[in-house]
Amino acid sequence: MVGYLDHGDATEAFVWQDGVLTLLPTLDRVPPGYVQSEAFDINESGQIVGRCSDGRKPRAVLWDAGQVIDITPPTTDAFYAALATGINIHGVIVGVTQEEGQRFNGLFFVIDHGATVYLDPAPSEFVSVTAYGINDSGEIAASAEMAVPLPDSGRIAQSWQASAWSRTCFAACCE
C-alpha cells in the first residue's frame, strides 16, 4: 500500500509493506527542510508513482528500486504541476498536468518505457479531469467535473481507451 502522511504544511510519501512503514526519498533538488511528496499507486513489481515538489513546481515521479526519478514530461514546463497517478504491471504510467491557478484541466499523458504520449483532451464540457489509474490492458480510469453540473452531482466517471473517451454515468447523475 502507498500513500502520504499529511503534516499540515508538508506531506511525505510512504510505502507500507509487511507491516513496516517506509518513507520514500524526495528529489535531490528539494530545499532542506522542505518536504512535499505523495505516492498514489504501486504495481506488482513495487514501482510507485506520485509527485514531489522541487520547491517551485510539483513534479511527476517514479520510485523504483529505492530511487526517485523525475518523470515529468518535458513539454509540460508551461504547466504549474504534473503528477503521476497510476502504473500498471507493464510499467506504463498515466498522469495529468495542471495549469497554474486552475484545476487539473491539463493534458493526460502516458509514459510507456520512456516514450511520452499525450492523450486527446477530454470533451470541452468538462472543467476538471483527473486520471486515477491504468489497468494492465491500458485502459485509463478518470473522473471529470462538468462545467454545468448535473443534478445531485457534477462528476462523471470517464475512461480512455484506444484513443477515445467514453462516459459512464451512474444512475444518480444521468436521470
**Mean pLDDT: which of 49-58, 76-85, 138-147 is highest?**
49-58
With a threshold of 0.85, does the pTM exceed it? no
**101 within a domain of the structure (yes/no):** yes
**151 within a domain of the structure (yes/no):** no
**15 within a domain of the structure (yes/no):** yes
In this prediction, residue 23 carries a pLDDT of 93
**168 within a domain of the structure (yes/no):** no
**68 within a domain of the structure (yes/no):** yes
Q: Do strands 81-87 and 93-98 pair parallel, antiparallel, or not at all (unpaired)?
A: antiparallel
Please state, in angstroms and rounded to a whole number, the distance separating the CA atoms of residues 26 and 37: 7
Amino acid found at 18 = D
Mean pLDDT of 105-117: 74
* Three-state DSSP state, 174: helix
The C-alpha cell at 29 is: 533538488
Residue 115: domain span: 2-136
**24 within a domain of the structure (yes/no):** yes
**150 within a domain of the structure (yes/no):** no
**Structural domains of the chain, count:** 1
**33 within a domain of the structure (yes/no):** yes
pLDDT digits (tens, 9 = 90+) for 45-67: 999 999 998 666 788 999 999 89
